[in-house]
Amino acid sequence: MKIGNIPYRSVWVDQDDGWSVHIFDQTRLPWALDILRLTERDQVAQAIRSMQVRGAPLIGAVAAYGLALALRVDASDAAMERDAALLADTRPTAINLRWAIERMQARLRPLPAEARVAAAYDEAGRICDEDAAQNEAIGRHGLSLIQEIAARRGEGATVNILTHCNAGWIATVDWGTALAPIYMAHDSGLKVHVWVDETRPRNQGAALTAWELGSHGVPHTVVADNAGGHLMQHGSVDLVIVGTDRVTRGGDVANKIGTYLKALAAHDNGVPFWVALPSTTIDWRVTDGLTEIPIEERAGAEVTSVTGQTEDGRVETVRVTPPGSRAANPAFDVTPARLVTGLITERGLCAASQLGLAGLFPEHAEA
Ligand SMILES: CSC[C@H]1O[C@H](OP(=O)(O)O)[C@H](O)[C@@H]1O
């Protein structure tokens, strides 16, 4: 996507700068567009753990480059396996992280050590190119949902879409997942408006989705997480589209905490609830999301404090609870397939079910 008139991806390699890896520091957005220059494995691991880089497909791609950086230090079998495991373990819920590292290992294991660095950069680059292409396809397939609502609502009507967290281009290599259909609808001239869940406690919606949509000129309104049900009860939401960190073969969806509550409200109000994902976010090894998807528990400090910008432009973090109060911070929840209207993938739309996924991905259908 573009920032101003400059096209960007969310991760890139600068061959003229020692093949260093570059990402945006997402903890500084929307207040500053800081670019981080990564040259070592531990810098990549820290950027993923601290959510300077975040978003399921993007952390997979950046971890893949993290392995390339690690191999520059030591490309031996033992070092590669150690570094791969360390990077795969930086966050537990998004399956893209494990998928990307396993794909890198499959490419690199058969190679002699001296051939591994070049192959690692090549494979990580392929992962990035494929993610960007898959998300563009998700955009095209999801666009049909918005077009259908616009046609039904009549000439000039605005399609109101609610989204949770940030599943935009900054959460992927490019285009985004949940936001890709919205960008394409807007760019095609359809009138869309996005209700942006702030998404406490990390505020990916208020800080990142609002920044993305504003930068692209997409009309949007930031709302408290707790407002979504009310908006749906009063007919203000035509469609919900969210991203995901892991979908089971049965169609259960792990996504940012609060997604399940939006799915319940959507179900209760007859609002279509769609989940956008590249197939790299499908975990074909698990069926029951509630019992088989690990939910990341993050620091309570992310709940007891909030970061924002003062009137005079300083970015500060302040406590919002009494010093003695404890906080729990599960970072994701699981929406059962029964509450999901459908999945938007790079191969098209399908039901959130084993049958639906097998129809689009027959190579994974159980024998
Ligand atoms: C296309 S991003 C998918 C997913 O990743 C985000 O999690 P986080 O911000 O913790 O990395 C969020 O759950 C998005 O929906």
Q: Is the pLDDT of residue 3 over 60?
A: yes
CATH superfamily to which 2-129 belongs:
translation initiation factor eif-2b, domain 1 (1.20.120.420)
Helices (H) and strands (E) in the chain, counts: 12, 18
Mutate to test the pocket of ligand 1, among 204, 279, 295, 344 (most ligand atoms within 8 A of CB): 204
Which residue intervals of the chain are DSSP H helices?
41-49, 56-73, 77-88, 95-108, 113-153, 180-187, 210-216, 228-233, 259-269, 289-292, 301-304, 354-360
Q: If you ran DSSP here, which 8-state letter would residue 339 be given?
A: G
Q: Is 193 in the pocket of ligand 1 (CB under 6 A)?
A: no
Q: What is the pLDDT of residue 155?
A: 86
CATH architecture of 144-364: 3-Layer(aba) Sandwich (3.40)
Atom number of ligand 1 nearest to Cα 281 = 3
Q: What is the pLDDT of residue 6?
A: 85
Q: Is 177 in the pocket of ligand 1 (CB under 6 A)?
A: yes
Q: Which tens digits make up the pLDDT trace of 16-64?
A: 999 999 999 999 999 999 999 999 999 999 999 999 999 999 999 999 9
Mean pLDDT of 149-159: 94
| Residue at 250: amino acid letter | G
Q: Do 321 and 304 meet the contact criterion of CB atoms below 8 Å apart?
A: yes
- Is there a binding annotation on residue 250? no
Q: Which tens digits make up the pLDDT trace of 134-144?
A: 999 999 999 99
- Is there a binding annotation on residue 147? no
Q: Ligand 1 centroid to 260 CA: how many Å? A: 14
Q: Is 54 in the pocket of ligand 1 (CB under 6 A)?
A: yes
- Fold match between 2-129 and 144-364? no
- Is there a binding annotation on residue 96? no
Q: Ligand 1 centroid to 76 CA: how many Å? A: 33
Mean pLDDT of 176-194: 98
**Which residue ranges make up each domain of the chain?**
2-129, 144-364
Q: What is the pLDDT of residue 367?
A: 57
Q: Is 52 in the pocket of ligand 1 (CB under 6 A)?
A: no
Is 14 assigned a catalytic role? no
Per-chain mean pLDDT for the chain:
97
Which protein residue's CA is at the shortest distance from atom 15 of ligand 1?
A: 243
Q: Which tens digits make up the pLDDT trace of 345-361?
A: 999 999 999 999 999 99
Q: Is the pLDDT of residue 154 over 60?
A: yes
